[in-house]
């Protein structure tokens, strides 16, 4: 199939070695960040924070979190242009959703007189909240929607990436506790441009299961 979207997705791969000399232009970063902000989420909950690590100081802090595990990903921290922490709210509340509702009023999506009615869909959040207020399973799932949208956007911008569940969540959340402000990070994303010679994964053909094995039309 020939289509610009398919061509971009076929060229996308998980980078194994970055070209440390190349940085993402600020204009492209602004497009990326806006696309991340526009990501879909259940009931428009937006239960996420995105922490962009780009200064040498912040990258050194991130590098330090590989002290105990997943050292194979440590090289990406300084070689890539940026690393993004994708974090979710582990205890999403009605007060959190009120920010969404009030922003909807500000944006003329919801009429002010319908504010209370707008909380009707919050029932779905309550159904995914444990007795102790834990919403981790639900809000983490929303954050992966944002991650998927980010990967697609990067492919369209011809920017490379490495999704990393290979991090130490305990150390990452300790190191960036102030920035995360109670949110939980379990996955990070390195972004930049692959090394033209040393990124072996860029040279391998794309391999996916056949469409007939994963899609059924009924």
Is residue 40 situated within a structural domain? Answer: no
Is residue 217 situated within a structural domain? Answer: no
Is residue 72 situated within a structural domain? Answer: yes
Is residue 9 situated within a structural domain? Answer: no
Mention every residue, 6+ apart, whose C-beta is less than 8 A from residue 80: 15, 18, 20, 162, 190, 191, 192
Count each helix (H run) and each strand (E run) in the chain, helices first. Answer: 10, 4
| Residue 66 lies in domain | 47-92+129-195
User: What is the residue-level pLDDT of the chain in tens, covering all 218 positions?
Assistant: 799 999 999 999 999 999 999 999 999 999 999 999 999 999 999 999 999 999 999 999 999 999 999 999 999 999 999 999 999 999 999 999 999 999 999 999 999 999 999 999 999 999 999 999 999 999 999 999 999 999 999 999 999 999 999 999 999 999 999 999 999 999 999 999 999 999 999 999 999 999 999 999 99
The single residue listed with the structure tokens 């009931």 is: 43
Is residue 161 situated within a structural domain? Answer: yes
Is residue 35 situated within a structural domain? Answer: no
Is residue 190 situated within a structural domain? Answer: yes
Q: Which residues of 115-144 are buried (b: 16+ CB within 10 A; e: fewer)?
A: eeebbeebeebeebbeeeeebbebbbebbe
Is residue 62 situated within a structural domain? Answer: yes
- Model pLDDT, residue 1: 79
Q: Give me the number of domains the chain comprises.
A: 1
CATH number at residue 71: 3.40.109.10
């Amino acid at each position: 199939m020939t289509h610009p979207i398919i061509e971009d997705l076929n060229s996308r791969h998980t980078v194994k070695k970055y070209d440390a000399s190349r940085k993402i232009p600020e204009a492209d970063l602004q497009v990326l960040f806006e696309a991340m902000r526009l990501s879909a989420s259940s009931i428009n909950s937006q239960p996420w924070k995105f922490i962009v690590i780009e200064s040498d100081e912040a990258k050194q802090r991130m590098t330090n979190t590989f002290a105990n595990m997943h050292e194979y990903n440590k090289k990406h921290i300084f070689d890539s242009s940026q690393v993004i922490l994708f974090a979710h709210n582990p205890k999403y509340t009605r007060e959190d959703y009120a920010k969404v509702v009030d922003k909807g009023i500000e944006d003329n999506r919801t009429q002010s007189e319908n504010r209370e009615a707008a909380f009707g869909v919050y029932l779905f959040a309550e159904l995914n909240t444990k007795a102790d207020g834990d919403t981790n399973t639900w809000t983490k799932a929303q954050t992966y929607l944002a991650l998927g949208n980010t990967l697609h956007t990067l492919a369209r911008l011809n920017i490379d990436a490495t999704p990393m569940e290979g991090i130490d969540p305990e150390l990452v959340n300790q190191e960036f506790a102030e920035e995360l402000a109670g949110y939980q990070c379990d996955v990070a994303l390195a972004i930049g441009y692959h090394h033209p010679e040393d990124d072996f994964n860029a040279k391998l053909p794309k391999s996916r299961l056949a469409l007939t094995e994963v899609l059924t039309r009924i």
